[in-house]
Amino acid sequence: MTGGSAERGGNASARPGRPNHPARPVALVTGGGVRVGRAIALGLAEDGYDLVVHYHTSAAGAREVAEAADQLGTRAHPVQADLSQEHEAVRLARTTAEHFGRLDLLVNSASTFAADDLLAVTADKWDAVMAVNLRAPFLLVRETAKLLTASRGSVVNIVDLAALQPWTGHPAHSVSKAALLHLTRVAARRLAPEVRVNAIAPGAVLVPAHFSEADIERVRARVPLGRIGDPADVVGAVRFLAGAG
């Protein structure tokens, strides 16, 4: 875990002194500094959202998102938090409320992706995956429910295909995403009709950096369209579910 020096107290790009546009929606995107979460954050900035960009270790990426949002005329406030820790997840939600005073969209995109074997994974490793992939989204929904209800907002959980398929090489990840999908259903019923809660299960998007060309080709061969997905595909789905486009 990296220290979150500036981001714990604020960020120059966020410009707290600039008044928030009364009609401008606010989104909290976890894991917003890298990969799909970054693409979602940038897409929402293009749609006119002010942002809370959560990151764990990707400080540079979160700052780049904030700078891009500033160029688009919106505000982005990077916040560092280790979502494996309950108090950090709660702090993230409360920072959002304190900084912007409203929340229209919560995107739970942050996750861990540790490979392991079901018969070898330790309880500590299992719990660490569940804390980030499942418990943190629960805590953020719980802590932001009042703000989302007030704005008649939306929650979008990124669950990926592991929620629907038994990934034996990533057992904790697969189980956590299946549980997050069911949490989505439970939260949707509990928060209706004021708040909509949905999930997106992308296929192969931005394959892991350690994949070889053979690995990538094997994944591509299983996709009916014959191509690896693009983050823009996920951004479009988030926009649709959030009512932003």
Is residue 14 situated within a structural domain?
Answer: no
Is residue 163 situated within a structural domain?
Answer: yes
How many structural domains is the chain composed of? 1
**Which residue matches tokens 């688009």?**
72
Q: Count of residues for the chain? A: 245
Is residue 7 situated within a structural domain?
Answer: no
Rounded Cα gap, residues 183 and 169, in angstroms: 23
Domain range for 161 is 22-242
Is residue 125 situated within a structural domain?
Answer: yes
Other residues' Cβ atoms within 10 Å of the Cβ of residue 48: 14
Is residue 1 situated within a structural domain?
Answer: no
Residue 203's domain is classified under what CATH number?
A: 3.40.50.720
Is residue 41 situated within a structural domain?
Answer: yes
Going residue by residue through the chain (245 aa), what tens digit of pLDDT does each one get?
Answer: 333 333 443 433 333 333 445 579 999 999 999 999 999 999 999 999 999 999 999 999 999 999 999 999 999 999 999 999 999 999 999 999 999 999 999 999 999 988 899 999 999 999 999 999 999 999 999 999 999 999 999 999 999 888 888 888 899 999 999 999 999 999 999 999 999 999 999 887 777 667 788 877 887 887 887 788 788 999 999 999 998 44
